[in-house]
Structure formats: C-alpha cells, structure tokens
Amino acid sequence: MIEAIPTQFIIIFVGLLAIMAFVGLNAVVLVYLERKVAGFIHRRPGPYEVGPPCFPHGILQPLADGLKLVGKQIFTPRGADSFLFWLAPMISIAPAIVCFIAIPFGPYLQVINTNVGLILILAFTGINVLALCLAGWASQNKYGLIGAARDISQGVAYEIPLLLVVLSVVFMTGTFNLFDIADGQGAWPWQWYIVYQPLAFILFFICALAETNRNPFDLPEAESELTAGFHTEYSGMAFACFFLAEYAYMVVAACIIAILFLGGFQGPVAPGIWWFLAKVYVLLLIMIWIRWTFPRVRFDQLLNICWKWLIPLAVLNLLITLAVIAL
Amino acid sequence: MIVKSLSETLSGMWSLLVGMKVTAVNFKSPQITVHYPRQVTNLDGYRGHIELVPSDEDPTKSKCIACSNCVRICPGACISLKASKPKKKAAPEKTDAPSTANEAQPESKKEAPPKKAKPELQSFVLDYNYCCLCGLCVESCPSGALRYSSDVYVAGFTRQEFVYDLLSRLQYQAQKKEQ
C-alpha cells in the first residue's frame, strides 16, 4: 500500500505542510515586526500591552489578533455572488503557498528542484490578480470594484518590467532553475548578481513592491480612499486569508530577490539556510521601512512610473545584458 | 526635455533616500510615548483633594497642631477634626493616655512640661463631596500640615466613598512606604 504512493508525492505533501506552517509563522512575525517598526518610526512603542509579564513588549499581540480573526463571524453581503465571493480568498492564499515549493531555502532544503522554478513562481503569483479581481467584483461593493479594477491595471502593468528584469538575469545564468541561479553565485557580496545587475535589482524591487500591493503602491487597498479596497466586505478568516496571502507574497518576493540578486543561500561561514533567512528578512524590513516612509502614489503616477520609466529601463537593461552576453 | 525629466527623476529618487533617512533617524530616536498607568509625568500642578503632610520625625504622624483654622475657614464645612484635649494638671495621666494610644508619643511628652501639652490629632475627616477646591484650608494652615494630593483616581459608587479619613490614609501610606 505504502509503495503505491510515489515518493515525490509524499515529499510534496510534507513540504506543503511545512510551508503552510512557515507561512503562518512568517505572518505572525511580520505582523509584529510591521507594527513595531511603524511604532518606532512614529516614536511610540507599538503593541505593548498584550501578554502576561513573562511575554513583554506585546509579543503575543499577533496571536491575539489571529484568535480574534478566527473567532469573528464570516458574512456574505447582500447581493454578493456567494460562490465567487468565497472562492476569492482561497484562490488568493493557495497559490501563495504553492510558490514556496520551488524556493531553495538552503543547499539541501527545497521541496522540488525544478527546471521551471522561476516560471512556476511567476505564474502562480499572477493568479493573485485574479483572486483580488474576483473578490472585488463578487462583493457587490463600489469600493471593492474600484479596488479590483486598480489591482488589475496595476498588476498587468507591473508584470511586464518584472518579467523583463527576470529575463535579463535568466539570460545571464541560462536557467530558470532557482537552485542553479543561487548556486551560480559566490559566497561573497561581490560575487552576487546585484553587482552585475544593479539596475535590474532596483527595478525588480520596485515591481515587487507594486506586485505585492505594498506601499507606496497599495492602491487596490488604499485605506484612506477605498476603506479597504477589494477586501472591504470580508470579515474573519476570509479577510485573514487575504492578509496571509499578502504577507506570503511579500516573503515570496523577498525570496526571489534574494535568490536572483543576493546569492540566495550563499554566504560565508554559517550554513546556507541562515543566510537565506537573514537576506529575506533584511529585504522584508526594507519593505516595511518603505511602507512607513512614503505616501501612496496617485494612480496616474503609478502607471506613469511603470510605462515611462520601468519598462524602457527594463528593456534597456535587457538589451545591454544581451549585448554583453553576445560579446 | 529629456535631460530635464531625467534630472527631475534623479532628484526625486534622491528625495526618496532622504525620506528613508528621516524615518530611520526617528526610528532610532527615543520614544515620546508615556506608558500611562505605569508612568505618570503630568501631575506636578495637579490640585486633588487635600491630604495631611507627615511630620519630619515620624511619617505616621501629621504636622497638624489641631488648631482648627481649616475647619473654621472651610466654606463648605467639609473638614472635621478631633483632637485630644491638652491636659493641664495631672501629669501622670498624660503619660498613661498616650502610651495606650500611641507608642511614639512619650518622647515628645517628656520634653513638654506638664503645664503646656500639645493637643494630639486623633482624627481628620474630609467630606470631599462638599469640597469646592478653594484651597483656603491649605493657605490658612499655620503649621503647613495640609497639601494637595495627586490622587487622580477618584471615582466611586456612593457618597460615603468620598468621605476620607485623612489620618488613617497618612498612616496607611507610611506603612506602604516602609514595605
């Protein structure tokens, strides 16, 4: 009976379970980190009160938030398309978890080492646009609809420079395999691709911010204009799914940046996994830092940045990379 | 045209870095939040209900000389105090009475010769319900035995809760301080 189950399937199953735990844990840590960083930037302590004295500095706050979300009633608004309405959070969270199976966390820690790892991740992150579109459209709410429309135009626009930038790295390495890309870089910072592709790094970072709907590109959510954008009507765990997915995509984006430009799990002395996590968390901290620094861009500005600057620069970067490779 | 927009973009990107620096500096600088219940900083000028000032020698004793100036001047008549009568003739009685009431008393009694004994404050009750916070009692006190407390947590369900026995409050605070 056991022999009938392919080993690959067991590996993927266990891997997905581990990834779900990782995603959940990451969300807890990131929520805490985000609120603490926001607090410190505003010169206040951030969450401070939740938890007994043995857990100081409000370290149980994200746990309490999570429990609150689990305990809340989930509610379908009147006039909403209930099938699509409840499908959307699932479509949002599921691909986010699948994205992680191709990411090499360390030299020996990867669920499946596939040749199309990068394409797999780009394809699955693209599904999120569909999820947010369904969420906004099915919830029969003007804010939701505007949020969804914004998300689609933003997602489509920023996917182009993102792919062009990824292409220039792929042309350098000649592979879509994330493990090989990370393996091709050396242990020291001057051997990483950020040295060869600094422009690509900046472009990718900006596009990643936009793709993950982070400030200053969080127009689909835009609290001050659209209450909560596409997830205005969601409550309880349905909202938590979007929330988890958002943080999961942030981690995915940070992982990809770390692998493509910062040497992935490569690093001197310490084992690879720690280097990888350190790089990912530094990138996430920078994302959080950016969020609490800059105001939200206007929508025309958002598209202008993309069409007038990012896409031409990405094409230029790709052409230069190709020319250098051809020579 | 291209040069202009290019320089604009570059200066814009520079301003982004400047903005990041601003938040980084604020991140590192000390917090300005006051952790309120654990840390109170703004009660310096607060005038709460009155309280008795402990005497210099004994923190459980008041500086009050039981002259009743405060009782007389209070427009709301909310202060009532009781004092032991100064005993004139019988010297042995004096030494007996304080020893049953208080242990710390005999020293001061020994100093004072039998002809002129100080009245001893036995209770000092403030009915805060009628207090108009005029502060005349504090101003009129000749021995500086009254001051404003910084007790801001005054809320209750009955009027009786606002009738304060200030002498026992003083003794309670002194005990708490010792611990």
ipTM associated with this complex:
0.72
pLDDT digits (tens, 9 = 90+) for A234-246: 888 888 888 888 8
Chain B residues touching residue A48 (CB < 8 angstroms): 35
Q: What share of chain B in percent tops pLDDT 70?
A: 82
From the list A37, A44, A290, the residue facing B33 with the nearest CB is A44
Q: Is it true that the peptide bond before A189 is cis, omega within 30 degrees of 0?
A: no
Residue type present at position A244: L
Contact flag B20-A289 (C-beta cutoff 8 Å): yes
- The pLDDT assigned to B92 comes to 47
Tokens of A311: 């896409």
* Among A211, A204, A225, CA closest to A302: A211
Please report how many Cα atoms fall inside a 13 Å half-sphere around the Cα of residue A284, on the Cβ side.
24
Question: A147 with A226: CB under 8 angstroms?
Answer: yes
The answer to whether position A57 is within a domain reads: no
Question: According to the model, what pLDDT value does residue B114 have?
Answer: 53
Best mutation target, B1, B18, B28, B31, to test chain A (most A CBs within 10 A): B31
pLDDT at B88: 58
Whether B32 has its CB under 8 Å from any CB of chain A: the answer is yes
Which range of residues forms the domain containing residue A286?
75-326
Number of CB atoms found within 10 A of residue A61's CB? 21
- pLDDT given at position B150: 82
Of the partner residues B20, B29, B35, the one whose CB lies closest to the CB of residue A293: B20
Residue B27's closest chain A neighbor by CA? A41
How far is B153 from chain A, CA to nearest CA, in Å? 21
CB pairs under 8 A between A and B: 33
Q: Would you say residue A81 lies in a domain? A: yes
- Count of domains for chain A: 1
Is-contact B166 B82, C-beta < 8 A? no
**Does residue A257 belong to any structural domain of this protein?**
yes
The 3-class secondary structure across A159-210, one letter per residue, is: HHHHHHHHHHHHHHHCCCCHHHHHHCCCCCHHHCHHHHCHHHHHHHHHHHHH
Lowest mean pLDDT among A259-263, A283-287, B47-51, B103-107: B103-107
Burial class (CB in 10 A: 0-12, 13-18, 19+), B157: exposed
B179 has pLDDT over 50: yes
| In-domain check, residue A261 | yes
Distance from CA of A191 to the nearest CA of B (A): 26
The reply to whether residue A42 touches residue B24, judged by beta carbons under 8 angstroms, is no
- Both structure tokens of A173: 């390495």
- Beta carbons of A40 and B27 less than 8 Å apart: yes
Q: Which residue has the higher pLDDT, B106 or A54?
A: A54
pTM equals 0.77
User: pLDDT under 50 in chain A at which residues?
Assistant: none
Yes or no, beta carbons of A293 and B31 under 8 Å apart: no
Rounded to the nearest 10 degrees, how much is the dihedral formed by the CA atoms of A282, A271, A193, B16? 10
State the best of A42, A44, A304 to mutate against chain B, taking most chain B CBs within 10 Å: A42
A201: in domain:
yes
| Contact assessment for residue A260 and residue A43, using Cβ atoms and an 8 Å cutoff | no
| pLDDT value at residue B91 | 47
Chain B nearest-CA residue for A286: B20
Domains (ranges, CATH) in chain B? 50-86+119-178 (3.30.70.3270)
Q: How much is the pLDDT for A296? A: 86
Whole-angstrom Cα distance, residue B64 to residue B124? 9
**DSSP letter, residue A107:** T
Q: Is residue A229, in this structure, part of any structural domain at all?
A: yes
Residues of chain B contacting residue A304, judged by C-beta atoms under 8 Å apart: none
**Binning pLDDT at 50, 70 and 90, where does residue B105 land?**
very low
Domain annotation covers residue A9: no
- Is residue A8 one of the residues assigned to a domain? no
Tokens of A72: 């809340």
Q: Are A311 and A161 in contact (CB under 8 A)?
A: yes
Q: Which residue of B has its CA nearest to A49?
A: B35
User: B55-101: per-residue pLDDT in tens?
Assistant: 888 888 888 888 888 888 989 888 888 888 766 554 444 444 444 44
Q: Please give the single-letter amino acid code of residue B175.
A: Q
H/E stretch holding B52: strand B50-52
**Both tokens of residue B157?**
């369900």
Residue B168 Cα, gap to closest chain A Cα (Å): 33
Cite the DSSP H helix spans in A48-189. Answer: 61-71, 82-99, 117-138, 142-173, 178-183
Q: What is the four-CA torsion angle of A216, A220, A226, A231, rounded to 10 degrees?
A: -130
Quote the tokens at residue A66. 């999570």
The mean pLDDT value for B44-56 works out to 84
Instruction: Tell if the CB–CB gap between A40 and B20 is shorter than 8 Å.
Output: no
* B39 Cβ under 8 Å from any chain A Cβ: no
